[in-house]
Structure 1
Amino acid sequence: MAVSIRASLLSCTLVSIFLVSSAQSCSNYTFTSDRVFYSCSDLPYLEAHLHWNYNPSTGKVAIAYRAKQKSKGWIAWGINPTGRGMVGSQALVAFHNTNGSVTVYPTPITSYNPSMQPEALSFQVSNITAEYSDNEMTIFAVVGPLNNGTLVNHVWQAGSSVSDNVPQIHSTSPPNLQSMGILNFLSG
């Protein structure tokens, strides 16, 4: 009897792990608009996902970065063309502004206390928009061409507050400090 209870518990655990992991996977996500992305990555921290389409003829990448977030918080995703980590990143940030609409813009991260103000990046960014639905914020944009090709150091972040339409400092908990990686837009 103890063996059958263990087997039942193991079976239930495996099914629930499968359902949770498949529900959170980027590969089965459908965007509310007519947007379709052929590549994606479930990022290991901050309940975030990156979707993209790389166009080899132009060297540009259409991206959708989405992350869980409360309505008063902010999200950001960026590429660091000069190294690993936050400083040097060329980021896209989104949040709800004081009138309640979603604001999104590019901002370079030049220090550990960046201004988080709109400013041009070191590479082209176009078609930048954002949306918020079901406690998830999504940034859409086309970036590039990128000088470093398809292999990039990327970072992503989330903060819990915005003051006077400026994202405030994020937590220094391990998930926030570890939210970086290397990504190849060509091979995934």
Structure 2
Amino acid sequence: MASATQHRRTFPLAILLLATLVPMRAAAAAGGASKASCEGEKFPAGRSYAHCAALPYLGAALHWTYDAKAASLSVAFVAKPAGADGAGWVSWAINPTGDGMKGAQALVAFKGASSSAYVVNTYNVTGYRPLGSASTPIAFKATDLAADESGGEVRLYGKLQLRPGMQVVNHIWQVGSAVTSGAPAKHAFANENLEAKGKLVLAGGSLAPAPAPSPERAAGGQSAKSSGNGAPSGGKQSTAAAGTYVSAPVLMLLALAGFLAIV
């Protein structure tokens, strides 16, 4: 039988093990919920996508189909604007030169200044300055631009003509709370906004693991969960939000190791 000294030494180890297991299980559960939410999106007739992923920040989801032969990427980005009563804008972008906002080739959906209908502008984000009310040319030919609203979320649609041979792209996404003088106003700078970026595997139907948040951002808010609207469309492959999850067998082995250490 272990001595009292051994029990005192192994007790902190057991506490540490339990503290590690709880967030791992929570992350796994969150991954399952994300998978269900992106599969549940129901789009208007004529719009369907091969893959979907619940993104890890801003309660957003991405649906996409990539035609490798034609280098054509069709997307539907779904997110809730940050303003009260659905006011604001949503955006999804590819950055061919980096992983941040500067250099992003963006699609932005918002309500026009004189209309309740959504418009979709393209912006080449060359620096940290306000966007205008008119589109600017981007590096990829953009067609089929449209947006609608469902259940308080804005769904942004578009097709981009990429360069042949592209397999993985840096993508970023964002939401804002206001549109001023017909132009998207600046977004918030909370943890969720700053970390809303990652890598998208075009043909593989997956998200590459995102880098861990920097220590000064790790204490930021948590993302809201995206919820689906209707029955899932056939043939869609779902990918959980980028992250690291631990399988059940690994959890059992870790638990057994903790038990043996105590007894």
Instruction: Please tell me the TM-score bracket, short chain as reference.
Output: 0.7 to 0.9
Q: CA deviation at 1:113?
A: 1.5
The runs of 5 or more residues in structure 2 that have no matched partner are 1-25, 207-263
Does residue 162 (structure 1) correspond to residue 179 (structure 2)? The answer is: yes
Q: CA deviation at 1:171?
A: 0.1
Counterpart CA distance in 1 for 2:98 and 2:130 is 17
* Counterpart for residue 74 of structure 1: 89
* Counterpart for residue 9 of structure 1: none
What does 1:1-188 align with in structure 2 at a 5 Å threshold? 21=33, 25-69=37-81, 70-98=85-113, 99-116=115-132, 117-146=134-163, 149-187=166-204, 188=206
Q: CA deviation at 1:57?
A: 1.4
Contact 2:57 2:195 in 1 (8 A): yes
Q: Which is richer in helix?
A: 2
Counterpart CA distance in 1 for 2:139 and 2:34 is 36
Query: CA distance change for structure 1 residues 97 and 50 in 2, over 3 Å: closer, same or farther?
Result: same
* 1:126-185, Cα deviation, whole Å (9 max, x unpaired): 111111122110111111223660210000000000011100000000000000001111
SS at match of 1:25: helix
SS at match of 2:86: coil
How many corresponding residue pairs?
172
TM superposition score normalised by structure 2: 0.61
Contact 2:131 2:185 in 1 (8 A): no
The runs of 5 or more residues in structure 1 that have no matched partner are 1-13
TM superposition score normalised by structure 1: 0.84
**Aligned-CA RMSD value:** 2.0
For residue 153 of structure 1, what is the amino acid of its counterpart?
A: N
Q: CA deviation at 1:123?
A: 1.2
Contact 2:34 2:54 in 1 (8 A): no
SS at match of 2:76: strand
Query: CA distance change for structure 1 residues 22 and 119 in 2, over 3 Å: closer, same or farther?
Result: closer
Contact 2:94 2:104 in 1 (8 A): yes
Counterpart CA distance in 1 for 2:168 and 2:130 is 25
Q: Which is richer in strand?
A: 1
Counterpart CA distance in 1 for 2:193 and 2:34 is 24
| Higher RCO structure, 1 or 2 (CA under 8 Å, sep 6+) | 2
Q: CA deviation at 1:112?
A: 1.5
The percent identity for this pair of structures is 33
Query: CA distance change for structure 1 residues 179 and 148 in 2, over 3 Å: closer, same or farther?
Result: farther
Q: CA deviation at 1:22?
A: 5.9
